[in-house]
Structure 1
């Protein structure tokens, strides 16, 4: 996989089946997600629709096949949190360690910045000694992108007969002005040209 062969676009509801193929191993074989059961295709379609109402949901393709995706979701539902989001990213197994995560996050952060989002947050399962289900790769990835560790919660998730810590990491992509500029919800604007102009070779 070469970076110049990767194209990005926004997710569609009909992508649910391909996205689930990527997500399924994370549920079944890792503690990266705390879900126990793989969601149904119908449930995943609903998740995509809900996300695209307010936030970007970006997929990466190589030779027409989706190989990774990243999206943002609400940090909290109260209106005062409108300027904060949580980010998520998942890559197919054969696409990891080749720079795809950087490409997806660059695009995600660009769109979020244009929307007026200020705080981006990542909730990450912390590595633990001798665990076969989680590593420190996600924490290191976010550190390289300028995220700072801001919280550490102990034994907060139980999966595969193990207790796991979780951490929150945070990054600012806009200034905290008073008052802040209004957030542009994703469904209210056409960001496709911005994505195409910056991330299509």
Structure 2
């Protein structure tokens, strides 16, 4: 049985090993290769206090992770976040991505976010279909936005509405301000 929980610094090496093949061997990530492990750790650690960073594990082994990050820089976009989900190659197709997305969306909604975005490489049709299956809709397509592995790649921009405009009475909370994150996860999976 899967367990979804908040990630911690001890999870970062496993998260890095999951991410590395995506950056090195696929067009899923537009990085030309995985960053050095220390840079990856700093990138993920910087998110912990502000955004949800989750791992999904089975029998103590991390099989996937997800995180939210700022979708845009300007303050007026504070209610928007961008989703990233990565699943260990041998664990794909087992529902782990869906579990992680559902948990991130629930936490972001509790924090006060309105929109969740995902940018997906056009040729990654399985990811586009996954996002649509869990409630995202395509809002834009950008042809030939990135060049990797000898070809130009289009990007599909997907959006999921977490709540209506009434949820925006205050700026979203940071993860460090959310006292009931574990309870939120229990509600999602309990």
Q: State the 1:199 CA deviation.
A: 2.8
| 2:127 corresponds to 1:138 | yes
Distance change (3 Å), C-alpha of 1:195 and 1:38: same
Q: Any idea what the Cα deviations from partners look like across 1:64-122, whole Å, max 9, x if unmatched?
A: 11000111000112110110000010000111111111111111111011001001100
Is the Cα–Cα contact under 8 Å of residues 12 and 48 in structure 1 kept in the other structure?
Answer: no
1:1-16 equivalent positions in 2, closer than 5 A? 5-16=1-12
Q: d(CA) in 1 for partners of 2:156 and 2:141? A: 4
Is the Cα–Cα contact under 8 Å of residues 52 and 107 in structure 2 kept in the other structure?
Answer: yes
Q: State the 1:193 CA deviation.
A: 2.8
| 2:75 corresponds to 1:79 | yes
Distance change (3 Å), C-alpha of 1:177 and 1:48: same
Question: Please, what TM-score do these two structures have when normalized by structure 1?
Answer: 0.89
| 2:108 corresponds to 1:118 | no
Which runs of 5 or more residues in structure 1 are unaligned? 128-134
Counting matched residue pairs gives: 189
Q: Which residue of structure 2 lines up, in the alignment, with residue 109 of structure 1?
A: 105
Which runs of 5 or more residues in structure 2 are unaligned? none
Distance change (3 Å), C-alpha of 1:35 and 1:179: closer
| 2:173 corresponds to 1:184 | yes
Is the Cα–Cα contact under 8 Å of residues 9 and 196 in structure 1 kept in the other structure?
Answer: no
Q: Which residue of structure 1 lines up, in the alignment, with residue 40 of structure 2?
A: 44
Distance change (3 Å), C-alpha of 1:87 and 1:178: closer
Q: Which residue of structure 2 lines up, in the alignment, with residue 193 of structure 1?
A: 183
- Over the aligned positions, Cα root-mean-square deviation in angstroms equals 1.5
Q: After the TM superposition, which segments of 4 or more aligned residues of structure 1 sit over 6 Å from their partners?
A: none
SS in 2 for 1:54: coil
Residue of structure 2 aligned with 1:88, choices 60, 84, 88:
84
Is the Cα–Cα contact under 8 Å of residues 119 and 172 in structure 1 kept in the other structure?
Answer: yes
Question: Please, what TM-score do these two structures have when normalized by structure 2?
Answer: 0.94
Q: Which residue of structure 1 lines up, in the alignment, with residue 17 of structure 2?
A: 21
